[in-house]
């Protein structure tokens, strides 16, 4: 998945041309049915969440490979063009990040609360590896940090909790869709190893000291930089889910919908 920085351009398209493009796009965005490997659960099933978990676990290996027509990219490796995290005096950007490990992810739980219109999912990734490039400046903890180079980080037993509210919205095609709205993402890990290359313009002494500091104090540091990073990573997962949900009408997601 590529998240590209947008540029603003003045719209010089004539009104009639814009109308034509609108109808072409609308016709190409026809509602889809769920793939055959995704089994549906009945809303009348008293064990609905257990059914949803079982079916989601069976579908996950297929989804990891990507579903282009549902706007789901290949998830392992997942390629992210740019991700930014800003907190206090620290500004960090990840570029061309490759995230690996989802193929071995374990879906621990999934629950739907249709009265509160809320979905909660918990996932554990045994070993999540991130590589790419970074740019950082500011202060990490009480220490100044500056650099631009390669990034390599591995999280062991990475726990991810994703919570989103949703609305049921009627679209222009007359169909009602489940639309994820506000979300929250929590991350935790049993251990982490990371290395930032070329810190302090290649100063080996300062770079080695900072990398040692990060690896020895990552649990404390994640409280400082963690949430902005989690929110940025969560926004990627939320966008994938939102784009996919817009492709299948609500009535086709579950059995016994009204």
Q: CA 158, CA 129: separation in Å to the nearest integer?
A: 10
Query: Would you say residue 26 has pLDDT above 80?
Result: no
Lowest-pLDDT range of 12-21, 106-115, 174-183: 12-21
pTM of the full predicted structure? 0.82
Query: Would you say residue 240 has pLDDT above 60?
Result: yes
Angle at 88 between CA 219 and CA 237, to 5 degrees: 65
Q: How confident is the model at residue 226 (pLDDT cuts 50, 70, 90)?
A: low
pLDDT of residue 127: 97
Query: Would you say residue 3 has pLDDT above 90?
Result: no
* Backbone torsions φ then ψ of 217, nearest 5 degrees: -125, 25
Question: Does the residue 36 lie in any domain?
Answer: no
pLDDT of residue 215: 95
- Provide the token pair at 123: 């996932």
Lowest-pLDDT range of 22-26, 28-32, 55-59, 182-186: 22-26
Q: How confident is the model at residue 224 (pLDDT cuts 50, 70, 90)?
A: low
Question: Does the residue 16 lie in any domain?
Answer: no
- Provide the token pair at 56: 């989601």
Residues 6 or more apart whose CB falls under 8 angstroms from that of 248 comprise: 31, 32, 33, 34, 70, 177
pLDDT of residue 126: 97
Question: Does the residue 23 lie in any domain?
Answer: no
Question: Does the residue 18 lie in any domain?
Answer: no
* Torsion from C-alpha of 141, 145, 150, 155, nearest 10 degrees: 0
| Structural domain span for residue 228 | 47-252
> How many domains would you assign to the chain?
1
Question: Does the residue 203 lie in any domain?
Answer: yes
* Backbone torsions φ then ψ of 194, nearest 5 degrees: -145, 155
pLDDT of residue 23: 43
Q: How confident is the model at residue 222 (pLDDT cuts 50, 70, 90)?
A: confident
Question: Does the residue 41 lie in any domain?
Answer: no
Lowest-pLDDT range of 140-144, 215-219, 228-232: 228-232
pLDDT of residue 6: 28
Query: Would you say residue 158 has pLDDT above 50?
Result: yes
Query: Would you say residue 28 has pLDDT above 80?
Result: no
CATH number at residue 238: 3.15.10.30
Residues 6 or more apart whose CB falls under 8 angstroms from that of 10 comprise: none
Task: Give the pLDDT mean for 116-134.
Answer: 96
- Residue 85 vs residue 145, higher pLDDT: 145
Task: Give the pLDDT mean for 69-89.
Answer: 89
Contact 157, 124 (CB under 8 A): yes
State the chain's maximal CA–CA distance in angstroms: 66
Question: Does the residue 35 lie in any domain?
Answer: no
Q: How confident is the model at residue 86 (pLDDT cuts 50, 70, 90)?
A: confident
pLDDT of residue 166: 96
Question: Does the residue 40 lie in any domain?
Answer: no
pLDDT of residue 25: 44
């Amino acid at each position: 998945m590529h998240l590209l920085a947008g540029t603003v351009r003045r719209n010089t398209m004539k009104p009639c041309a814009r109308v034509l493009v609108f109808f072409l796009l609308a016709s190409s965005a026809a509602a889809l049915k769920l793939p055959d490997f995704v089994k549906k659960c009945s809303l009348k099933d008293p064990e609905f969440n257990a059914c949803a978990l079982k079916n989601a676990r069976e579908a996950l290996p297929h989804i990891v490979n990507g579903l282009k027509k549902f706007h789901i990219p290949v998830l392992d490796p997942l390629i992210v063009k740019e991700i930014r995290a800003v907190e206090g005096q620290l500004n960090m950007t990840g570029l061309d990040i490759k995230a690996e490990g989802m193929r071995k992810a374990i879906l621990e739980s999934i629950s739907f609360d249709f009265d509160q219109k809320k979905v909660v999912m918990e996932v554990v990734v045994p070993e999540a590896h991130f590589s790419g490039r970074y740019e950082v400046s500011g202060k990490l903890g009480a220490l100044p940090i500056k650099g631009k180079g390669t990034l390599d980080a591995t999280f062991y037993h990475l726990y991810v909790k994703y919570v989103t509210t949703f609305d049921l919205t009627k679209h222009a095609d007359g169909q009602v869709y489940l639309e994820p709205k506000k979300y929250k993402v929590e991350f935790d890990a049993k251990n982490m190893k990371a290395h930032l290359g070329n810190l302090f313009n290649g100063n080996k002494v300062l770079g080695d000291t900072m990398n040692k500091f990060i690896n020895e104090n990552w649990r404390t540091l994640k409280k400082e930089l963690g949430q902005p990073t989690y929110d940025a990573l969560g926004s990627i997962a939320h966008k994938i889910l939102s784009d996919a949900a817009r492709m299948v009408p609500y009535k086709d997601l579950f059995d016994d919908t009204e």
